[in-house]
């Protein structure tokens, strides 16, 4: 997964990473902010387990309360 976007949640609890080539959104929990230690939490893949519309995600936006994530996608219209 080559990362295309990396964002920290506003609450400082998680790092989210998109991979456009793999149609994924990976979530890592911040275990220790002072050392940068992360722990893998979950991954969402387009068309797997009910995840739809995650086609070539290239950007992320997270709401202020860190409970909603929006992914911008790079899919040609046509």
The answer to the question of residue 44 being in a domain is yes
The answer to the question of residue 12 being in a domain is yes
The answer to the question of residue 57 being in a domain is yes
Q: What is the pLDDT of residues 12-45, one digit of tens each?
A: 999 999 999 999 999 999 999 999 999 999 999 9
The answer to the question of residue 78 being in a domain is no
**How far apart (Å, rounded) are the C-alpha atoms in residues 52 and 71?**
11
The average confidence (pLDDT) of the chain is: 93
If one counts the domains in the chain, the total is 1
Predicted confidence (pLDDT) at residue 65 exceeds the cutoff of 80: yes
Residue 25 class from Cβ within 10 Å (0-12 exposed, 13-18 middle, 19+ buried)?
A: buried
Per the structure, the complete domain to which residue 39 belongs is given by: 5-73
> Which pLDDT belongs to residue 77?
65
64: left (phi over 0), alpha (psi -120 to 50) or beta: alpha
Provide the pLDDT confidence category of residue 75 given band limits of 50, 70 and 90.
confident
49: left (phi over 0), alpha (psi -120 to 50) or beta: left
Average of per-residue pLDDT across 43-69: 94
């Amino acid at each position: 997964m080559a990362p295309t976007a990396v964002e920290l949640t506003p609450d400082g609890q998680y790092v989210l990473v998109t991979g456009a080539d793999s149609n994924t959104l990976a979530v890592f929990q911040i275990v220790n902010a002072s050392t940068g230690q992360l722990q893998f939490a979950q991954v969402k893949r387009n068309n797997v387990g009910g995840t739809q519309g995650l086609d070539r995600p290239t950007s992320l936006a997270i709401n202020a309360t860190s409970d909603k994530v929006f992914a911008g996608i790079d899919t040609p219209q046509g």
